[in-house]
């Protein structure tokens, strides 16, 4: 066990990093596109929206849209791993999604279970580390077990950090963090004055991960919908009009390109040296 873990760590540490990510467009005969890894976001979050409309526009049940969406998700996870993205967070099921019809919730629960059972071997072999963001205890038993197994089995992996938000609500995550800190204060383990942003971040499902650099949402909706409110504060946002089942590597790369062209200032100013404001000059004695 120990040697197995050690060999994985060494493998990951010495895995050659690609100089460029290269993608051949799926649907056109255009040239392969390249992007230097230094321009890649460390953490990508995706709101996979539009499964229902994709299905309805084809006269199919909504569950067929979710099944097609799962295929898209499979390839976007592989692409993120191939391209050396550090962390990928996917919004799979929100706390609000329980209010959908019994059939739709049942279909989503079935897909979750099927996905984890069928993909876990490949993900683990690729050293993907799976973290579930959300209230796993509130899930039905078979799903709870599959999600827990996936987390336990991959916890020491050093590859892509794959976060899947299930039974997740952003405000609920913040309340949970506040409660955890309050409990530490009550127990005398933490001084209220010691509560700072780092302490708060340490209580989130994403503790230890970099903030989200790029948020992608499909289907043309322009909202964040209670997804990662703390982690998104400085995220660049890219919206794609396609429904999620149509999202592919070519579209993903287009989003990464748009990100690479953004000027991120984090509230400061990125001024080229020559454009820096000149020091105020003292009025000369002859000036009036
Ligand atoms: C939003 O589309 C999508 C969801 C609520 C579920 C996303 C789930 C998957 C992509 C597949 C299952 C996940 C895993 C991890 C196997 P919508 O239904 O709100 O679409 P609409 O806005 O067109 O109605």
Q: Could you tell me the distance, in angstroms and rounded to a whole number, from the CA of residue 63 to the centre of ligand 1?
A: 9
- Mean pLDDT over residues 47-57, rounded? 98
Q: Could you tell me the distance, in angstroms and rounded to a whole number, from the CA of residue 165 to the centre of ligand 1?
A: 12
CATH top-level class of 40-260: alpha beta
**Cα distance between residue 147 and residue 136, in whole Å:** 7
pTM score, two decimals?
A: 0.86
- Provide CB contacts within 8 A for 27, sequence distance 6+: 248, 250
Catalytic residue among 11, 12, 81, 97: 97
Binding-site residues, ligand 1, Cβ < 6 A = 48-53, 66, 69-70, 73, 92, 97, 108, 111-112, 115, 164, 219, 244
- Mean pLDDT over residues 276-280, rounded? 44
Token pair, residue 143, equals: 């799903």
Minimum CA distance residue for ligand 1 atom 13 = 92
pLDDT digits (tens, 9 = 90+) for 159-175: 999 999 999 999 999 99
- Mean pLDDT over residues 80-105, rounded? 96
Pocket test for ligand 1, best of 50, 51, 247 (most atoms within 8 A of CB): 51
Q: Is 49 a catalytic residue?
A: yes
Token pair, residue 41, equals: 């976001």
Q: Is 81 a catalytic residue?
A: no
pLDDT value at 231 more than 90: yes
């Amino acid at each position: 066990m120990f040697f197995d873990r050690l060999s994985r760590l060494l493998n990951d540490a010495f895995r050659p990093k690609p100089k460029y990510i290269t993608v051949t467009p799926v649907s056109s005969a255009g040239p392969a596109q390249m992007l230097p890894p230094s321009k890649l976001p460390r953490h990508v979050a995706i709101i996979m929206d539009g499964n229902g409309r994709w299905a309805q526009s084809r006269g199919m049940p909504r569950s067929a849209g979710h099944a097609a969406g799962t295929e898209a998700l499979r390839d976007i996870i592989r692409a993120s791993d191939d391209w050396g993205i550090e962390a990928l967070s996917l919004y799979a099921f929100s706390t609000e999604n329980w209010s959908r019809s019994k059939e739709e919730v049942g279909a989503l629960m079935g897909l979750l279970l099927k996905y984890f059972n069928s993909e876990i071997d490949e993900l683990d072999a690729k050293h993907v580390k799976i973290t579930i963001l959300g209230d796993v205890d509130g899930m039905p038993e078979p799903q709870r077990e599959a999600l827990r197994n996936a987390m336990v089995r991959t916890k020491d992996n050093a590859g892509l950090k794959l976060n899947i938000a299930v039974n997740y609500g952003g405000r609920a995550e913040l309340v949970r963090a506040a409660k955890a800190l309050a409990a530490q204060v009550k127990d005398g383990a933490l001084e209220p004055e010691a509560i700072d942003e780092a302490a708060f971040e340490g209580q989130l499902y994403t503790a230890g991960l970099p903030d989200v650099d790029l948020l992608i949402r499909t289907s043309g909706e322009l909202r964040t919908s209670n997804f990662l409110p703390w982690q998104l504060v400085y995220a660049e946002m890219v919206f794609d009009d396609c429904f999620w089942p149509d999202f592919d590597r070519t579209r993903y790369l287009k989003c990464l390109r748009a990100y690479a062209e953004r000027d991120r200032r984090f509230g400061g100013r990125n001024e080229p040296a020559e454009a820096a404001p000149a020091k105020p000059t003292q009025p000369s004695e002859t000036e009036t």
